[in-house]
A and B are shown apart, each in its own frame.
Chain A
Amino acid sequence: MSERTTQPPETEAEDTEDGTEPTPTTVSSGATSVVRALENTGIEVMFGVQGGAIMPVYDALWDSNISHIMMAHEQGAAHAADAYNVVSGEPGVCLATSGPGATNLVTGIADANMDSDAVVALTGQVPQSMVGSDAFQETDTTGITAPITKNNYFASDADTAGDTVGEAVALAGSGRPGPTLVDLPKDVTGAETDREPGMAQTPEAYTPQNEADPASVEEAAHTIQSADKPLLLFGGGIVKANAAETAREFATSYGIPVVTTMPGIGTMPEDHDLCLSWAGMHGTGYANMAISHADLLIGVGTRFDDRLTGGIETFAPEAEVIHIDIDPAEINKNIHADYPLIGDAGRVLEQLDGSMTTAPDADEWREQCLTWQEEYPMDYAAPEDEPLKPQFVVEALDEATSDGAIVTSGVGQHQMWASQYWTFREPRKWVSSHGLGTMGYGLPAAIGAKMAADDGEEVVCIDGDGSFLMTVQELSVAVREDLDITVAILNNEYIGMVRQWQDAFFEGRHMAAGYSWIPEFDKLAEAFGARGWRVDDYDEVADAVEEALAYDGPSVVDFHIDPAENVYPMVPSGGANDKFALSEDQL
C-alpha cells in the first residue's frame, strides 16, 4: 500500500523571470488561504471566469504569482484545465462562480471524470447563511457534481479552506486521477484567518494500491510465457502513470504485439513494428482482428469501454485476460479478468518483467498480425473529381508539423480522421474527449494544451464545423493571450457522424444534421482578431497549412471537405471487433 501522497511545496524552487523568488501569498482570509494552498502545490496557471460569489478568491489572486487565463465561458475553463493536465501531467485548475458558473463547468468536469483527468474545480457559493434559500445564483453545486467527481468538498470554515483545497489537488492527481471540486461560500472566503494551510495531503483513508500481489504476478507471467497469441492492450492509464517507456520495453523485450485504446494513443509509437495502432469502433482493421483472435489479452490501464469492446459477448472471445489497473472497481466491471493485477501500470509491468524468464513463442502470431496489416491497410481514395478529402488534410498537417506536435480535437468524424491518419509517437500529444464525447472540446483544449506545452511545441486543433461552433468564443481568449495555435476545421457543413449514422441506420433521413447555412470561419477568425484561411482544393492545402503554422498567433483554416466522406473501418455498435465494415454496404 502506498503512503499518503504529500505534495511538496514547490514555491521555493521556483524563480520568477527576474530571478527573484516569488513571494507566497500572505494568509489573511479564507480566500488568501485558498490561493496559498494552490501555491503550495505548485499550481502555476488557472483557467476561469469571474463572478459574484468567487470574487474574494479572484481578489486574492491579484497579489499571487499564479497566472490566470480569463476564459470566455466556464465550460472552456474546465476543458482548458483538462487539456493542461493531459499535456503536462500536472493538475489543471479551473475557477467559476456559483450558480451558472458552476453549472457551466459541469460538462467539463464530467468529461474529466470519464477520462480520469486530474482537474480541480473551485466554485464560489452564496454565503452559508443563504444556502438553501434559493438565493441569487445559488445552486447545489456539490449535489450536482457528486456523481461526476472523484470527491467534492463544501468548505465551511475559513481556517481549513486552504487545507481542503490542498487535499482536492492532491486527491485529483493520485491513484486513478479524476476531477475534484471545492465549493467556497463567500462568507468563508471573505472571513479573516491567519491560519496557513499545511502541505497538501490526500485523505486519510485514501490508499491506492501500487503493487500487485506477487503470487498473482507470477501466475500472470507464467501465462504470458506460454501464450501462443499474446496481445498487449495499452490504455490511457499508461499515460497517467507516466509508464509509456516501461510499457514499450515490456512489449519489445518479449516481442508482444500492441494495440492501444484511443486515450492510449502514443504510448507505443504508431510506426513501430509491434504497434497495430488503436482498436475499437473506428480503429484499424488489424488491431480489431488481433483482439478477436488473441489467446491472451493483457489490458494495461484500460476500462474496456464499449467503444473498444463492441459487443461484450464477442470481445476477445478466445482470450484469457490479464487486467492491470490501479482501480479495483475496473476489474470484472465490463470484462472478466482471469488474472487481475491491481496497481500502478508502470510498477506492475516492472513486477511482471521481473517474473518473466522467457519470451512467449509468438513468431507465427507476429507474422499473422503483419499479414493483417497488409490485408487491411488504412487508406482512403481521393479521386480528382471528388471534393477535398479530410484524411489528406490530416496527413498534410502531420507532415508539416514537427514530431512532437500536440493535437487536440472535438468529437465526431474529424476526431476519428485525426486519430486514424496522424501518426503519434509519444504520449500526451493526443488530447481529445474520449469517454464523454464532448463536441466543442478541441478549441479550449488547445488553449490549455498551449499553456502546458514547452516553448516551441506546436499545438494544432483539428476540429469539425459543428464542434467549432460549440465553443468558438474561446478564440477570443487565444487572441487575447496571443497563443500560437492552429485550428484546422474539417468543414463538411454537417454534424458529420450523425449524418453518417443517418445514412447507415436511418434511411438517409438527415434530420437536424446538416447546416443550411454556416458562417465563413476564415472571416469569423479575422473578426475575432485571429488569422483565417479558406481552402477548397488539394492544391491550396500545402500553402495554407504552411502559412497558418508560420503565423505567430491563433490561426484558423477552414477546409471545405467532401460532405459525403465517411469514417471507416467501423465496428457497428454492439458488434464483433473482427466484423468491422470497410464501407457502408458491409454494415
Chain B
Amino acid sequence: MSSGLDGPEPEDRPAPEGRRNSQGIRIDPEVEAEPEARRAVLSALVKHEPGVLANISGLFRRRQFNIESLTVGPTTDPDRARMTLEIEEPEPGIEQAKKQLQKLVPVVAVTELEPTAIQRELALIKVDGSKPDQVGAVAEMYEGKTVDVSQESVTVEITGSEQKIDAAIETFGRFGIHEIVRTGTAALERGTRKTT
C-alpha cells in the first residue's frame, strides 16, 4: 500500500530567482517598474455591415481596454467604414487592442496613427446668451463660428485638436455653459502616407 504524495515541502524546495511584472515581462526585482499608459489613436477600416460597431465596442468593454473616444463614418468605398479609436493604455495593452481588433473578421485593417497625423474633433458648445458679442469674439479666437442664437443661449461650433477644444471649453466656461456635445477624434495620416 502506497503512502500517497511525497517530497520536500514548499519552503524546502530550491527557489528560482527573478520575477515578472504584471504584464508578464521578466524584470530586475530592484527596478520593478510598471509601464505607464499612453494615448494612442487607432484607425480601423471595417466592413460596412450591421453589428460591427457593437462588436468593436463590445470587444473594448469585455477586454477592459480604456477607450477615450470612438468615431465611425463611411469611406469612398460603400462597403467599408472607417473607425477612429482613441485609447489610453500601457504599451502591451495598446498592442493587444490592435491585435484583438484585427482578429475580428469584419475588421479589414488596423493601424496606429503617427502622433503627427491630422487629428480633428468637432464640438458644439451652447453658452449663456447674455453676452453674445463676447461669445462671438471668443469663438473667433478659436476659429469657430456662432451657429445658433436665441434669447437664452448662443451655440458655437469649434473644430480642432482635442487640446484646442478643451481650451475653448474652459474659456467659454466664464459665460456659463448650458450643454456641450463632442464628436471624438477623427484622424488621417498626412501627405501620401496611407492611414490603413
A586 touches B9 (CB 8 A): yes
The yes or no answer to B174 lying at the interface (CB within 8 A) is no
The yes or no answer to B55 lying at the interface (CB within 8 A) is yes
Give residues 307-351 of A contacting B (CB, 8 Å): 312-315, 317-320, 327-329, 331-336
The yes or no answer to A354 lying at the interface (CB within 8 A) is no
Q: How far is the CA of A289 from the CA of B105 in the complex (A)?
A: 40
The yes or no answer to A506 lying at the interface (CB within 8 A) is no
Given A318-B16, A586-B10: A313 touches B22 (CB 8 Å cut-off): yes
The yes or no answer to B73 lying at the interface (CB within 8 A) is no
A171 neighbours in B (Cβ, 8 Å): 105
B50 neighbours in A (Cβ, 8 Å): 154
Choose one: A142, A292, A583; the contact of B51 (CB below 8 Å): A142
Q: How far is the CA of A320 from the CA of B104 in the complex (A)?
A: 30
Given A317-B16, A335-B20, A336-B24: A381 touches B105 (CB 8 Å cut-off): no
In the complex, which residue of chain B has the Cβ closest to the Cβ of A206?
B105
A312 touches B24 (CB 8 A): yes
Give 1 or 0 for each of A278-302: 1 = CB within 8 Å of chain B CB.
Answer: 0000000100010011000000000
Interface centre among A205, A375, A378 (most CB of B within 10 A): A205
Given A313-B21, A327-B103: A578 touches B6 (CB 8 Å cut-off): no
Give residues 473-514 of A contacting B (CB, 8 Å): none
Choose one: B4, B16, B24; the contact of A578 (CB below 8 Å): B16
Q: How many residues of B sit at the interface, in one of the four size bands?
A: 35 or more
The yes or no answer to A147 lying at the interface (CB within 8 A) is yes
The yes or no answer to B171 lying at the interface (CB within 8 A) is no
Choose one: A143, A331, A578, A583; the contact of B13 (CB below 8 Å): A578
The yes or no answer to B181 lying at the interface (CB within 8 A) is no
A332 touches B7 (CB 8 A): no
B24 touches A375 (CB 8 A): no
B9 to chain A, nearest CB (A): 6
Give 1 or 0 for each of B38-73: 1 = CB within 8 Å of chain A CB.
Answer: 000000000000110011001100100000000000
Stretch of B94-102, B118-126, B129-137, B140-148 lying at the A interface = B94-102
Q: How far is the CA of A379 from the CA of B59 in the complex (A)?
A: 44
Give residues 350-386 of A contacting B (CB, 8 Å): 375-384
A317 touches B18 (CB 8 A): yes
Q: How far is the CA of A569 from the CA of B15 in the complex (A)?
A: 18
A340 to chain B, nearest CB (A): 11
B102 neighbours in A (Cβ, 8 Å): 328-329
A292 touches B16 (CB 8 A): yes
Give 1 or 0 for each of A139-154: 1 = CB within 8 Å of chain B CB.
Answer: 0001100110011001
Given A312-B24, A317-B18, A336-B23: A205 touches B108 (CB 8 Å cut-off): yes
A318 neighbours in B (Cβ, 8 Å): 16-18
A328 touches B99 (CB 8 A): yes
B31 neighbours in A (Cβ, 8 Å): none
A582 touches B5 (CB 8 A): yes
B20 touches A315 (CB 8 A): yes
The yes or no answer to A203 lying at the interface (CB within 8 A) is yes
B6 touches A582 (CB 8 A): yes
Given A171-B105, A327-B103, A329-B103: A146 touches B7 (CB 8 Å cut-off): no
A381 touches B2 (CB 8 A): yes
Given A203-B105, A318-B17: A329 touches B96 (CB 8 Å cut-off): yes
Q: How far is the CA of A206 from the CA of B9 in the complex (A)?
A: 50
Q: How far is the CA of A328 from the CA of B106 in the complex (A)?
A: 17
B22 neighbours in A (Cβ, 8 Å): 312-313
Given A146-B55, A151-B105, A379-B5: A580 touches B10 (CB 8 Å cut-off): yes
In the complex, which residue of chain A has the Cβ closest to the Cβ of B32?
A313
In the complex, which residue of chain A has the Cβ closest to the Cβ of B61?
A147
A332 touches B95 (CB 8 A): yes
B62 neighbours in A (Cβ, 8 Å): 147
B19 neighbours in A (Cβ, 8 Å): 313-314, 317
Q: A317-B19, A336-B23, A384-B1 are in contact. List 7 more A-B contacts (CB 8 A).
A: A150-B105, A151-B106, A203-B105, A313-B21, A314-B20, A335-B24, A379-B4
Give B contacts to A, CB under 8 Å. Answer: 1-10, 13-26, 50-51, 54-55, 58-59, 62, 92, 95-96, 99-100, 102-109
